[in-house]
Amino acid sequence: MFGNMSILDIGLFFVSILIGMTIHEASHGYMAHLLGDHTAKDEGRLTLNPLKSIDLLTTILLPLVLVIFGLMPFFVAKPVNINPRNLKFDEFGLALVGLAGPISNFLLAVIAGIIFRLGVNSLNYVEAQFLVLFAEINISLFIFNLIPFPPLDGSRLLYALAPENIKDIMNKIESLGFISILIFMLLIFQFIATPVFNLELHILNFLL
């Protein structure tokens, strides 16, 4: 993945991920707070401090090991804890909390696109490259997290709309915890990767 990237590009890549990940997780917490659940606030997660969103195993070691073995790297940020019983609107409140993260990434990509378009004739290489990478990464976070597979954010909307038998299946998948993410990425994602990447490219081209 990083073979054709300079050290500068790799640095900009990880800075973009760190910003997008931090705002994504904080958005979950802020939305939950607005809807009546103060768990994130009590645990100090209503913050833009990126260290609060980093998990040693899933955010750092996991993508590093995947890169070493030549596999597509992915990471999982430290999730914001939510108590659904405290939320307004029941399952729809939880859906709003779930959607807040991806929507924040989309808005970040839009902002980067606007800045890029307005400054396209005056930006230097580093500035332009950062804006492109920042937009691309946040579009990726937006689309990937909207996939309705537990425990990804898109599943929160599906929980609110799906019949009980589908919810039961989703609960069983989500009960596997981190293993469900590994199963999805290593066994399922490869079948939808092409349309996902194409959609990301179309949105990126539209914004830039």
Give the number of other CB atoms < 10 A from CB of residue 19.
17
Amino acid at 98: G
Residue 120 has pLDDT above 90, yes or no: no
pLDDT tens digits along 12-36: 888 999 999 999 999 999 999 999 9
pLDDT tens digits along 147-176: 999 999 999 999 998 999 999 999 999 999
Q: Does residue 25 carry a catalytic annotation?
A: yes
Q: What is this structure's pTM?
A: 0.91
Cα dihedral: 11, 17, 20, 25 (round 10) = -130
Q: Which of 25, 127, 136, 200 is catalytic?
A: 25
Q: How many residues does the chain have?
A: 208
Q: Where are the alpha helices (DSSP H) in 35-148?
A: 39-42, 62-68, 90-118, 125-145
Cα dihedral sign, 149-151-157-158: positive
pLDDT tens digits along 76-112: 899 999 999 999 998 999 999 999 999 999 999 999 9
Domain extents in the chain: 7-207
pLDDT of residue 81: 94
Q: Is the distance from CB of 149 to CB of 188 less than 8 angstroms?
A: yes
Average confidence score pLDDT of the chain? 90
User: For 20, how many CA atoms within 13 A lie in the half-sphere containing its CB?
Assistant: 33
